[in-house]
Structure 1
Amino acid sequence: MSAKHFINDPTHLVQTALLSLPHANPSLQCDIANKIIFLSPSHLRSPQVSLISGGGSGHEPSFSSFVGRGLLSGAVAGTIFASPSAEQIRRCILHRVDKSKGVLVVVMNYTGDVLNFGMGVEKARSQGVECDMVVVGDDVGVGRNKGGKVGRRGIAGTCLVLKIAGALAAKGTGLEDVSRVAQLTAENLVSIGSSLSHVHVPGRNVAEAEDELKESEVEIGMGIHNEPGSERSTTDLPGLVKTMLSHCLNTSDSDRHFIDISEKDQVVLLVNNLGGVSVLELGGITNEVIEQLAKDWKIKPVRILSGTYMTSLNGLGFSISLLKVTDTDLGAGSSMLELLDAPSEATGWSAAISSETWAKRGQATKQEDGPERDEVSSSDLRMDGDFAKNALTAGLKRVIAAEPDVTKYDTIVGDGDCGIGLKRGAEAILDMLNKTEKTDDPLIFLGNIIKVVELAMDGTSGALYAIFLNALAYGLRQNSPSSPQPATTETWAKALDASLQSLSKYTPAQPGDRTLMDALHPYVKTLLKSGDIDAATEAAEKGAQGTKGMKASLGRTVYVGGEGFEEVPDPGAHGLAEFLLGLRDGLKK
């Protein structure tokens, strides 16, 4: 649980966050005294049912960032994790939204929200406003027995209810149907969340919580206000997702079986970030959910939403929501899917894929069934394919063996990934050599290596090697004879020198800059001058060792490296020298 915040005053935090919204969306206005965000009347295309939601702050983008054409007409915010007052809600209904076509209030099933929004609705009705309220309880994390009369809590599935109801209201549909479809959506929802940690509320004292999760624990079913879930478990992501989906879909679980969802149904999947999960990791989580739905439940969602919709401040967790698509009985253009896909001008709604695009789903995959092939044209250069493979294998194995040293050096002067990158590339090339048909054409042999390097090696070193090898292939082709002849040391030396010159177009690195060029440059120049592989290899090794104590002027080492560079060589230069030493030994066998 992180207790560090840029804004520690909770009142100031909520107010300034609300004040920021009209800056990001010119159609919005802010009643800061009542913590209301509402759609400016001048931006309404025509009168429509007004849709209002809200709750405690800390769940952004829900609900304030969902205000905009095509979604909410207004949102009322409480303090962090606390319901707004009935008076705030009354003011929103009566004074901040269009009442001419009626008002629908949608809230999550929490006692404070239900009571305060309910009171606001009744006050509005008492003054002649046509008003209705839908309460969403989609959470299956706590079952019937523990939930008792309170029922299921509302969590991220509520966002789907809001989007569908908001799009329907924007079409000019009457209050009765908008309310009915919102209720229908809520009744066909199941959701569950899990988190690795509780969250800290700004402004509150930090105390050692006895119930804080251990390093290896995850809480399954944790609520969005730090409420406990159904269990704590030590598991990996696949095991966690398996449990979460079972709680949502297992019809034999009488405590949590709220709706029937089968492979015959159309299903919408929402994977929601609780605030503290990186976009990268959420993508991995989403893929795991999709794969398990298909494998274990034979469910292939017709819509997939993955992103940040309803948070628990910076909660280190995620939730899964499944909506069983049901007929709205409103005809073409008003199905649940069409309403979900409908455009909106709410900054917090991050699903911008049209129905037309969803309808073409799978076509791109079918076009990619066959692998793309960039065939390397043959040359008249010749070599002993087995000999080349064995020599290259010796060099690659030496790189793999050197990985711990390269990693150690890069940890001292860089960010520690150089050794792993070189090892990954070497292993991928070895795998290719064992699977690819033998060739006696150096250009085809080199072309196969280039394909692997371009795919398996990333980062700066991967790009440098890919450029160098592509330029080497060009150099070999330029030195290819008009009739089949062996590729001599001189042929390779000339091609390597041309490749070195090409590389200089893309990097200013030269010997003395503490980069792999300190090994590569002397190797190529010595080989070109002497034709002696031993001498060239020794020059490369000497150049790599000479980087000890050399201050970097290029590369990430300039701003990452700290103390210790005097005792270790440049990791990239050392890794290349190790490869060249192994290659030399392989050529002698």
Structure 2
Amino acid sequence: MSTKHFINDPSHLVTTALHSLTLTNPSVALDPLNKILYLRPSQSPNQQRVSLLSGGGSGHEPAFAAMVGRGLLAAAVSGTIFASPSAEQVRAAIMARVDNAEPDGPAGSGVLVTVMNYTGDVLNFGMAVEKARAAGVAVEMVVVGDDVGVGRAQAGKVGRRGIAGTVLVHKISGALAAMGWGLEEVSRVARLVAGNLVSVGASLEHVHVPGRGVDLKERLGEGEVEIGMGIHNEAGSGREVVELGELVARMLGQLLDEGDEDRAFVRVNSNEVVLLLNNLGGVSVLEMGGILDEVVTQLKEKWNVRPVRVLSGTYMTSLNGLGFSITLLNVVNTDIGGPGMIELLDYPCEATGWAAPISKQTWEEKNTATRDQDPTVEANMKESGLTTDAKAAHDALVRGLESLIAAEPEVTRYDTVVGDGDCGIGLRRGADAIMKHLESKPLTGDVVVDVAGIVPVVENNMDGTSGALYAIFLNALVAALRALPPGEATPKAWATALQQSCEALSKYTPARPGDRTLVDALYPFVEVLEKTGSIEEAASAALKGATGTKGMKASLGRTVYIGGSGFENVPDPGAWGLASFFTGLAGLESPEGEWEKL
């Protein structure tokens, strides 16, 4: 593990590295505040109707920023090293840094967001996608999970991690967009590619992040290889002392063995297979050549696989990781009546992270155009005509918030037992902020306008996973309410919108009732409200659901990692906090102190 760096300030490193890409590709520009690299506005006619956007933590270069260019990504959003960008960064990119993000754009236009399957990325990109949808933008999101290094049993509901195969999704869908196809076809093909990818990595050592200390316990022993290591130093399937031939055999077995029920995610049985050998950043070009030869030889001799395209190089790194990954794409029919995957893979592009030169024409254009619109300006949330009694709504909302604030000590106590103790404080911070917001901006009675006004308050004041979940849910709720016909916002209307919001939330988290999360209170509330139209009965159902989490073993969240038997003694903190809000909203007696009876 090398701990020496020429630039030891990680913030300075990320900023300057992003700016460097504008020096090597004149068609791209940088929004330094939001760490967005984007295509400059075109000065010539453009048939492209869909803009591709991706991103993630820095440290994986050339993914994602160096994949911005004509024929590939329209924009990439970068976080700090190995950390997801914020939802606000992603929203700014969707709304203000790419073409085809206009709410009233032409049919078939829109934005495709592709993200790797990591919780922070999925939640933050998902929050931004829902906010864009609420503003009327046509946007689709594809989550890529191609890593087989961690099998089904260990990955559980989280699913496969996203690694180097993601760049093939970018390249193929980017080519289709460049040809002028619409959002439906581009997103469909992107999902098809993602569903036919398998990847696995291996490394001789963990990497060191500039500016951080060194954990010597992470070091691998002499000659040891971590098989299945992730791109953020995550563990794989195990460490062994093996030579290259045996290592490659193990890796190809994890990718291709249909008898391995834990890892047989894709049947690689088509006549056409694409091989991508990816350098994790620290392997010499000479050694990569030797590794590639071994991989291709074993594919032919042991698996009867002869790739129709072989790509070898540095596509997605783990800083200077001393390792490599193997990706196989099972080429299938795109079924859109147009180009196939290989034709799309071969389609020219201009991105410095891909093996294609920047054209003479691009250099000679001397394009200096930039996008200068302010991404902080909220979309104009017009009145919807879906109305309610503003005073009654205000009083109910305040009751709910006061009930949640009163429950904070209990929620904090529960989270101290089964979590890190910050759940109650986070919920109270959000509740206090909404109360303050209501003082300066009273409810109007138009439910879409009122909920839309609360969304940024939640986004700016509630952090962590629960904050992201609430923000995604509320953004989806804005879109669902706006889709309802004008008239009175009855409990049944609210139930319809809330049900759609639950469905939207389910795209970004595997949490379901029984997993010991806030949805154990949320789902019963929505279901009973839809059946009865009674908010009182719905709130009682939410409280019953939250109470039922006591003794329920968690399958998601920090509690999974903490372990212990604390879950046997207290309910889930997030579910209890939400149930407290619902009981106050319905005007029921606060459950404050109920924990003593549990």
Q: Please, what TM-score do these two structures have when normalized by structure 1?
A: 0.59
Which position in structure 2 is the counterpart of 1:344? 349
| Partner residue of 1:206 out of 210, 214, 222 | 214
| Partner residue of 1:146 out of 154, 174, 191 | 154
Deviation digits for residues 460-494 of structure 1, max 9, x if unmatched? xxxxxxxxxxxxxxxxxxxxxxxxxxxxxxxxxxx
Indicate yes or no: 2:90 matched with 1:89.
yes
Structure 1 ranges of 4+ moved more than 3 A? none
Whole-Å separation in 1 of the counterparts to 2:201 and 2:333: 27
Deviation digits for residues 233-280 of structure 1, max 9, x if unmatched? 111101000000000000010000111113x53100000000000111
Which position in structure 1 is the counterpart of 2:308? 302
Whole-Å separation in 2 of the counterparts to 1:235 and 1:65: 34
SS in 1 for 2:33: helix
Deviation digits for residues 2-28 of structure 1, max 9, x if unmatched? 000000000000000011111110100
Whole-Å separation in 2 of the counterparts to 1:43 and 1:135: 32
Name the amino acid aligned to 1:93: I
Which position in structure 1 is the counterpart of 2:69? 68
Deviation digits for residues 131-167 of structure 1, max 9, x if unmatched? 0000000000000000000000000000000000100
Question: Following TM superposition, by how much is the alpha carbon of 1:186 offset from its aligned partner in structure 2, in angstroms?
Answer: 0.3
| Partner residue of 2:246 out of 239, 250, 257 | 239
Question: Following TM superposition, by how much is the alpha carbon of 1:44 offset from its aligned partner in structure 2, in angstroms?
Answer: 6.4
Indicate yes or no: 2:228 matched with 1:221.
yes
Structure 2 contact 114–143 (Cα < 8 Å) conserved:
yes
Whole-Å separation in 2 of the counterparts to 1:211 and 1:175: 44
Deviation digits for residues 352-376 of structure 1, max 9, x if unmatched? 8xxxxxxxxxxxxxxxxxxxxxxxx
SS in 2 for 1:258: coil
Deviation digits for residues 383-431 of structure 1, max 9, x if unmatched? xxxxxxxxxxxxxxxxxxxxxxxxxxxxxxxxxxxxxxxxxxxxxxxxx
Question: Following TM superposition, by how much is the alpha carbon of 1:212 offset from its aligned partner in structure 2, in angstroms?
Answer: 1.4
| Partner residue of 1:172 out of 160, 171, 180 | 180
Question: Following TM superposition, by how much is the alpha carbon of 1:211 offset from its aligned partner in structure 2, in angstroms?
Answer: 3.3
Whole-Å separation in 1 of the counterparts to 2:336 and 2:139: 21
Question: Following TM superposition, by how much is the alpha carbon of 1:329 offset from its aligned partner in structure 2, in angstroms?
Answer: 1.6
SS in 2 for 1:190: strand
Indicate yes or no: 2:27 matched with 1:12.
no
Indicate yes or no: 2:319 matched with 1:313.
yes
Whole-Å separation in 2 of the counterparts to 1:171 and 1:119: 29
User: How many matched pairs?
Assistant: 349
SS in 2 for 1:50: strand
Structure 1 contact 305–351 (Cα < 8 Å) conserved:
no
Whole-Å separation in 2 of the counterparts to 1:250 and 1:45: 48
Structure 2 contact 206–218 (Cα < 8 Å) conserved:
no
Structure 2 contact 37–76 (Cα < 8 Å) conserved:
yes
Name the amino acid aligned to 1:85: S
Indicate yes or no: 2:3 matched with 1:3.
yes
Name the amino acid aligned to 2:14: V
Name the amino acid aligned to 1:144: R
Whole-Å separation in 2 of the counterparts to 1:34 and 1:278: 33
SS in 1 for 2:122: helix
Q: Which has the higher contact order (CA 8 A, sep 6+)?
A: 2
Instruction: Note the residue ranges of structure 2 that are not aligned, 5 or more in a row.
Output: 358-598
Structure 1 contact 49–175 (Cα < 8 Å) conserved:
yes
Indicate yes or no: 2:260 matched with 1:253.
yes
Whole-Å separation in 2 of the counterparts to 1:298 and 1:225: 33
User: Within 5 Å, which residues of 2 pair with 1:121-132?
Assistant: 121-132=129-140
Question: Following TM superposition, by how much is the alpha carbon of 1:330 offset from its aligned partner in structure 2, in angstroms?
Answer: 2.8
Question: Following TM superposition, by how much is the alpha carbon of 1:75 offset from its aligned partner in structure 2, in angstroms?
Answer: 0.1
SS in 1 for 2:77: strand
Name the amino acid aligned to 1:316: L
SS in 1 for 2:171: helix
Whole-Å separation in 2 of the counterparts to 1:329 and 1:31: 37
Deviation digits for residues 509-531 of structure 1, max 9, x if unmatched? xxxxxxxxxxxxxxxxxxxxxxx
Indicate yes or no: 2:33 matched with 1:36.
no
Question: Following TM superposition, by how much is the alpha carbon of 1:194 offset from its aligned partner in structure 2, in angstroms?
Answer: 0.2
The structure-2 alpha-carbon separation of the partners of 1:293 and 1:17, relative to structure 1 and needing over 3 Å to count, comes to same
The structure-2 alpha-carbon separation of the partners of 1:19 and 1:310, relative to structure 1 and needing over 3 Å to count, comes to same
The structure-2 alpha-carbon separation of the partners of 1:283 and 1:301, relative to structure 1 and needing over 3 Å to count, comes to same
Which position in structure 2 is the counterpart of 1:467? none
Whole-Å separation in 2 of the counterparts to 1:350 and 1:61: 11
Whole-Å separation in 2 of the counterparts to 1:39 and 1:177: 22
Structure 2 contact 349–356 (Cα < 8 Å) conserved:
no
User: Within 5 Å, which residues of 2 pair with 1:440-455?
Assistant: none
Structure 2 contact 50–182 (Cα < 8 Å) conserved:
yes
Question: Following TM superposition, by how much is the alpha carbon of 1:321 offset from its aligned partner in structure 2, in angstroms?
Answer: 0.2
Which position in structure 1 is the counterpart of 2:575? none
Whole-Å separation in 1 of the counterparts to 2:45 and 2:272: 33
Which position in structure 1 is the counterpart of 2:432? none
Whole-Å separation in 1 of the counterparts to 2:37 and 2:355: 19
Whole-Å separation in 1 of the counterparts to 2:173 and 2:341: 9
The structure-2 alpha-carbon separation of the partners of 1:147 and 1:44, relative to structure 1 and needing over 3 Å to count, comes to farther
User: Within 5 Å, which residues of 2 pair with 1:429-508?
Assistant: none
User: Within 5 Å, which residues of 2 pair with 1:352-371?
Assistant: none
Which position in structure 2 is the counterpart of 1:58? 59
Name the amino acid aligned to 1:336: M
Structure 1 contact 109–137 (Cα < 8 Å) conserved:
yes
Name the amino acid aligned to 1:244: M
Question: Following TM superposition, by how much is the alpha carbon of 1:350 offset from its aligned partner in structure 2, in angstroms?
Answer: 1.7
User: Within 5 Å, which residues of 2 pair with 1:362-441?
Assistant: none
Name the amino acid aligned to 2:41: P
Structure 1 contact 44–69 (Cα < 8 Å) conserved:
no
Deviation digits for residues 518-572 of structure 1, max 9, x if unmatched? xxxxxxxxxxxxxxxxxxxxxxxxxxxxxxxxxxxxxxxxxxxxxxxxxxxxxxx
| Partner residue of 1:282 out of 281, 284, 288 | 288
Name the amino acid aligned to 1:113: D
* Percentage of pairs with the same residue: 66
User: Within 5 Å, which residues of 2 pair with 1:266-281?
Assistant: 266-281=272-287
Structure 2 contact 198–327 (Cα < 8 Å) conserved:
yes
Question: Following TM superposition, by how much is the alpha carbon of 1:292 offset from its aligned partner in structure 2, in angstroms?
Answer: 0.2
Question: Following TM superposition, by how much is the alpha carbon of 1:207 offset from its aligned partner in structure 2, in angstroms?
Answer: 3.2
SS in 2 for 1:34: coil
Superposed CA RMSD: 1.1
Structure 2 contact 52–111 (Cα < 8 Å) conserved:
yes
SS in 1 for 2:158: coil
Structure 1 contact 196–213 (Cα < 8 Å) conserved:
yes
Which position in structure 1 is the counterpart of 2:589? none
SS in 2 for 1:305: strand
Whole-Å separation in 2 of the counterparts to 1:329 and 1:204: 48
Question: Following TM superposition, by how much is the alpha carbon of 1:42 offset from its aligned partner in structure 2, in angstroms?
Answer: 2.3
Whole-Å separation in 2 of the counterparts to 1:58 and 1:161: 20
Whole-Å separation in 2 of the counterparts to 1:45 and 1:226: 44
Whole-Å separation in 2 of the counterparts to 1:229 and 1:45: 48
Structure 2 contact 204–323 (Cα < 8 Å) conserved:
yes
